Amino acid sequence: MNIDPLKALEAKVERLKKDLKTLETRLENSQTDAAHNQLTQSNQLKDTSRKLAKTNDRVTDLAESVHRLERLLVALNRKVRAGETRKADFENWPEIEKEELAKIFHGQEAYARRKFTPQEAKDTRKAIAEYDRKAHEAIEAAESLTHLPPNAESLWRKHYKQWNAITTRVRPEVPDDDTHARDTVAKSAGNEAIKRIRQQIRARIEDAVAGDLLFPAWFENVLGPAAPPGRADDWLYTATDVVLYRLLHDVTSPADALGPAPEEEGHRKTLHDRLTNECAEYRKP
């Protein structure tokens, strides 16, 4: 043991330096190991991601293959059934007269027509009366222009301005109580016609299902070969409206149930969009 305090302190400092160097070496080794582990994990993660992407692509390919196989089976099933099964007729409807379809169209037009509430009708009639009053004054002002003396320039300008003001305005539309009454009748008749026709269409579809008849190609293309499990009533409701849509809008395509999507906004486009979305749900696996 060194009894010299200074030398003892120096020896202690040397030991501490050695310990510190040892710690630094261990720390560097730990950092190197950590970096190596991180690189290894990163590579493993990338490899796993590539494998997962390949698996997803494979699943997608398999799903498409299954879908193509399903379509081929449906087509094959149709050919087999066509030779030995009676076909459902959803094209000919002698029991549905054109007058009934016309009632539906008139009802749709009535619903689309501009309606006046009682207060709107009252305000509109007041606006019409005010317009007529000003128009009468403007006519009188225009007639007086021909009788003014040449030096009455300011008065001429005043009358001309009064006349010109009314020519830039438009007389409001007159609330037609008769049209409102006719629209009410048309709506009621249209609703009754839709109810009767839907009952006739649904009954024929139900008979076809009960008799296991072969549906038309356009029917199966959009609605599938049968109702999805647990959704028979919804499926029948949509199927009925698909047939009704074809009757209303004279769609005769043997493959396309609804025909091209209407471009103009209105009842037909709304119904086309609804049926397209509902049918897509029924065709999901």
- C-alpha–C-alpha distance, residues 227 and 274, integer Å: 18
Q: Are residues 109 and 199 in the same domain?
A: yes
pLDDT of residue 251: 93
What the block records as the tokens of 119 is 């207060």
| Residue 26 domain flag | no
Q: Of the candidates 149, 174, 199, which is a domain's last residue? A: 174
Q: Are residues 138 and 198 in the same domain?
A: no
pLDDT of residue 193: 92
| Residue 24 domain flag | no
- C-alpha–C-alpha distance, residues 129 and 266, integer Å: 34
Q: Are residues 225 and 260 in the same domain?
A: yes
* pLDDT confidence band for 240 (50 / 70 / 90): very high
Contacts of 193 (CB under 8 A, 6+ apart): 100, 101, 103, 104, 107
DSSP string, 177-244: HHHHHHHHHHHHHHHHHHHHHHHHHHHHHHHHHHTTPBPPHHHHHHH-SSPPTT-HHHHHHHHHHHHH
What is the domain extent for residue 163? 117-174
- C-alpha–C-alpha distance, residues 200 and 240, integer Å: 9
Q: Are residues 161 and 95 in the same domain?
A: no
Q: Are residues 148 and 91 in the same domain?
A: no
pLDDT at position 196 over 90: yes
Q: Are residues 124 and 169 in the same domain?
A: yes
pLDDT of residue 192: 93
| Residue 55 domain flag | no
Q: Of the candidates 174, 202, 221, which is a domain's last residue? A: 174
| Residue 155 domain flag | yes
Q: Are residues 231 and 149 in the same domain?
A: no
Contacts of 131 (CB under 8 A, 6+ apart): 166, 169, 171, 172
| Residue 160 domain flag | yes
CB crowding 228-240: b at 16 or more within 10 Å, else e: eeeeeeebbebbb
227 close to 100: Cβ distance less than 8 angstroms: no
| Residue 185 domain flag | no
Q: Are residues 142 and 241 in the same domain?
A: no
104 close to 193: Cβ distance less than 8 angstroms: yes
Q: Are residues 235 and 152 in the same domain?
A: no
Q: Are residues 142 and 271 in the same domain?
A: no
Q: Are residues 102 and 131 in the same domain?
A: no
pTM of whole model > 0.85? no
- C-alpha–C-alpha distance, residues 161 and 142, integer Å: 9
- C-alpha–C-alpha distance, residues 80 and 75, integer Å: 9
Q: Of the candidates 129, 146, 174, which is a domain's last residue? A: 174
| Residue 17 domain flag | no
Chain-centre distance of CA 192, in angstroms? 28
| Residue 165 domain flag | yes
% of the chain beyond a pLDDT of 90: 27
Place of tokens 């109810």: 195
* pLDDT confidence band for 26 (50 / 70 / 90): confident
Mean per-residue pLDDT of the chain: 79
Instruction: Identify which has the larger pLDDT, 104 or 157.
Output: 104
- C-alpha–C-alpha distance, residues 67 and 80, integer Å: 20
H-helix or E-strand spanning residue 124: helix 118-145
With H, G, I as helix, E, B as strand and everything else as coil, classify residue 7: helix
Q: Are residues 96 and 211 in the same domain?
A: yes
Number of domains in the chain: 2
pLDDT of residue 111: 80
- C-alpha–C-alpha distance, residues 212 and 214, integer Å: 7
